[in-house]
Homo-oligomer: A and B are copies of this chain.
């Protein structure tokens, strides 16, 4: 038995060293290392490199790493507040993920290494020993688009053990995102597991569809194969996502134990997904009781009637008034003061004020970033259902 384990261990290491004897011979690098005081040390073994830098969302500009006598380059950060961070090395001018860190996340065409500082806001983003919901990659047919499409569905812990009906949050991504974005970048699964377990959030089904109607699934999961992801796809924000949205709601109500009424439905989205949430919720005013616009791409002045060939965007004021008359329980708008969409959100709120439409507004610091959207989600969830 022991021989076998030794053999298996050997074969594993052998398969790794085939390419690079140097790594095998040297001791293993641990990077990043999070210290007790939440300083973080990043290290890269690169004896032959001439320049190694670090870039990350906790730095305002790249910093240089320092090389030791063994050829290990390292940098130790300041004390970092609790957050989920991403970073890259720049090795002789080439931006790379940290080879010692297998945890990374793709944001459109960039892949970045990840780490998490706990003890604060990021505690919600950790996998913890609470009851876990189920994550489902579900294909469905959209009759309107005449297409098989993929979405991510979360059912809460306990869903399989009872016969109850659950409310549903439809959670939409931004431009460049897909049905993986809210789980991968937004840590939506962990936020839901943790907040439901703590009793702060009602158990709910969360549906994360793909908001690019020209796309059947996220890059790598469609018949496009391993083609390079594209930021702005055809039919982006031209009304087709909104007009085909009832296909998704119909599928979910038919296949999951939902509360299939307005009282049991919420919709929220970030950036383009906020734009979609705005237009879907006003187009179907009896469909959603809770609406969340996170850094939403709402630019009423830039969507004059007739600018796009979609009746979805026509008669906006009248539709918004009608939606408001149906008295949704919550119309929540959140944006950061540094967001490039901040001004258009000011204008949108002015329009809502003029139309006497109710909403709740939350203003954060910073801009158009996942850090804000994770926080907005964790603020929105306790307010619904």
Question: Residues of A with Cβ closer than 8 Å to B?
Answer: 1-5, 7-12, 15-16, 18-20, 22-23, 30, 44-51, 55, 61-62, 88, 90-97, 99-104, 106, 108-111, 114-116, 118, 126-129, 131-139, 148, 150, 157, 160, 174-176, 217, 219-223, 225-226, 228-229, 231-232, 236-237, 255, 271-272, 297, 299, 302-303, 307-308, 313, 340-341, 368-369
Contact indicator B90/A19 (Cβ below 8 Å): yes
- Among the listed B18, B223, B341, which residue makes an inter-chain contact with A127, where contact means beta carbons less than 8 Å apart? B223
Q: A92-B92, A95-B99, A132-B148 are in contact. Are A175 and B8 (CB under 8 A)?
A: yes
Q: Can you tell how many copies of this chain the complex includes? A: 2
Q: Find A8's partner among B1, B62, B232 (CB 8 Å cutoff).
A: B232
Q: Out of B12, B92, B134, which one reaches A231, CB within 8 Å?
A: B12
Chain B residues within an 8 Å CB radius of A91: 91-92, 94, 96
State whether A22 and B93 are in contact (beta carbons under 8 Å apart), knowing that A9-B232, A48-B50, A232-B8 are contacts in the complex.
yes
User: Which of B94, B109, B111, B150 sits near A44, CB closer than 8 Å?
Assistant: B94
Q: A307 → chain B, closest Cβ, in Å?
A: 5
Closest to A138 in B: B134
Instruction: Check A8 against B45 for contact (C-beta < 8 Å).
Output: no
Main secondary structure of the interface of A (DSSP, over half): loop
Which residues from B are CB-within-8-Å of A160? 255
Listed by A's residue number, 14 A-B pairs whose Cβ atoms lie within 8 Å are A4-B297, A8-B272, A20-B62, A20-B90, A23-B95, A45-B94, A46-B93, A97-B111, A102-B219, A126-B223, A129-B148, A134-B137, A136-B136, A139-B157
Query: Which chain B positions have C-beta within 8 A of A19?
Result: 55, 61-62, 88, 90, 95
Is the pair B55, A18 in contact by a Cβ cutoff of 8 Å? yes
Determine the distance from Cα of A146 to Cα of B136 in the docked complex, in whole angstroms: 25
Question: Judging by beta carbons under 8 Å apart, are A48 and B48 in contact?
Answer: no
Counting chain B CB atoms within 10 Å of each CB, the highest count among A4, A148, A223 belongs to A4
Closest chain B CB from A87 CB (angstroms): 9
Q: Are B223 and A1 interface neighbours, CB within 8 A?
A: no
- A5 and B237 contacting across the interface, CB-CB below 8 Å: yes
Closest 7 pairs (CB-CB, A-B): A19-B55, A132-B139, A48-B93, A135-B137, A96-B96, A48-B92, A103-B226
Q: Taking CB as reference atom, which chain B residue is nearest A104?
A: B111
Whether A1 and B47, one on each chain, are in contact in the complex, defined by CB atoms closer than 8 angstroms, is no
Complex Cα spacing A308 to B50, Å: 51
- On whether A126 and B92 interact (CB within 8 A), knowing A236-B5, A302-B4, the answer reads no
Complex formed: what's the CA distance from A307 to B157 in Å?
A: 41
